[in-house]
Amino acid sequence: MTDFSVLAERASTLLEAHQQNRPLVLPTVWDAWSARAMVEAGFEALSIGSHPLADSLGAADGEAMSLSQALAGIARVCGSVDVPVSADLESGYDTSAPDLIAGLLEAGAVGVNIEDTVHSEGRMRSTEEHAEYIGDLRRAADAQRVHVVINARTDVFKNPDQFEDPTAEVIRRLNLCAEAGADSVYPVRLPNTDTLKTILSEVALPLNVTAHPVKGAVPDELDLSQLQDLGVSRVTFGPLLQATVRDYFAEFTRNWH
């Protein structure tokens, strides 16, 4: 049976961690083994990436695995560690906000990443449509009395030709999501540091950037101290932690073939 008091406490811990003096680094894991390894390495909260989770199941990213498969994977991670976990549920799998939040909480996660690319339809949500879904998720979480930490993602920079001014569109989308109840925002594929600075100056919510665990954050391979100086509040690795581990497999086993 789901213990909502424990979930509420973990959600509060995760939310508070976004307000600390240095960026919150949520290493992106994909199974119980990687989750335990990151906790043993000293991390006090985790994220689950849809891409690495799908890869671990032999599926493609972009909602190629089913929602039930995703939730089962999330449950395995959450059941293996005693720290707050945020999970990437892509665009929401065409699922109503109450049902998505119910499944997320039953799996044990207390944060969710939601993007504005609707994979089943091959399109991006409109600015207002994405903010409306974020608002629906907030209300659904409030109804469960758990402040699920909502990370609102936009893929505008992945599709810049669709917009006259991609940076202005990103700022508009992120601010509307903030008004709708998001706790942090996530503009993926940032083109450069100047654009990051512009967004940070125009969006008040904690901002998530993607980082490579060895090479640094996107854009421009910024390190943790540089991100802190800029005002970035949250860092995740997307599929890059899993890919980096895989890169070392050949080195580890070179004497055995």
138-151 pLDDT, tens digit per residue, is 999 999 999 999 99
**C-beta neighbour count of 175 within 10 angstroms:** 18
N- to C-terminal Cα separation, the chain: 48
- DSSP-derived letter for residue 94 is T
Region 236-245 average pLDDT: 96
- Secondary structure class of 151 (helix, strand, coil): strand
**Per CATH, is 4-256 categorized as 3.20.20.60?**
yes
Residue 77, H or E segment: helix 67-78
Residue 1 has pLDDT above 80, yes or no: no
Distance CA(123)–CA(56), nearest Å, equals: 26
Region 234-240 average pLDDT: 97
The one-letter code for the residue type at 149 is V
Region 227-248 average pLDDT: 96
Domain boundaries, the chain: 4-256
Structure tokens at 53: 């989770």
Please report the pLDDT score of residue 250 as a whole number.
87
Average pLDDT over all residues of the chain: 97
Q: Give the pairing of strands 117-118 and 123-124.
A: antiparallel
166-222 pLDDT, tens digit per residue, is 999 999 999 999 999 999 999 999 999 999 999 999 999 999 999 999 999 999 999
Structure tokens at 37: 């390894």
Percent of the chain with pLDDT over 90: 96
Distance CA(145)–CA(8), nearest Å, equals: 7
Distance CA(28)–CA(186), nearest Å, equals: 15
24-79 pLDDT, tens digit per residue, is 999 999 999 999 999 999 999 999 999 999 999 999 999 999 999 999 999 999 99
85-132 pLDDT, tens digit per residue, is 999 999 999 999 999 999 999 999 999 999 999 999 999 999 999 999
| Phi and psi torsions of 48, nearest 5° | -110, 125
Please report the pLDDT score of residue 10 as a whole number.
98
- DSSP-derived letter for residue 125 is P
Region 235-247 average pLDDT: 95
Please report the pLDDT score of residue 85 as a whole number.
98
Distance CA(134)–CA(95), nearest Å, equals: 13
Please report the pLDDT score of residue 257 as a whole number.
86
**C-beta neighbour count of 257 within 10 angstroms:** 5
Q: Are 206 and 183 in contact (CB under 8 A)?
A: yes
Region 152-171 average pLDDT: 97
What dihedral do alpha carbons 41, 46, 50, 55 form, nearest 10°? 20
Q: Counting every residue, how long is the chain?
A: 257
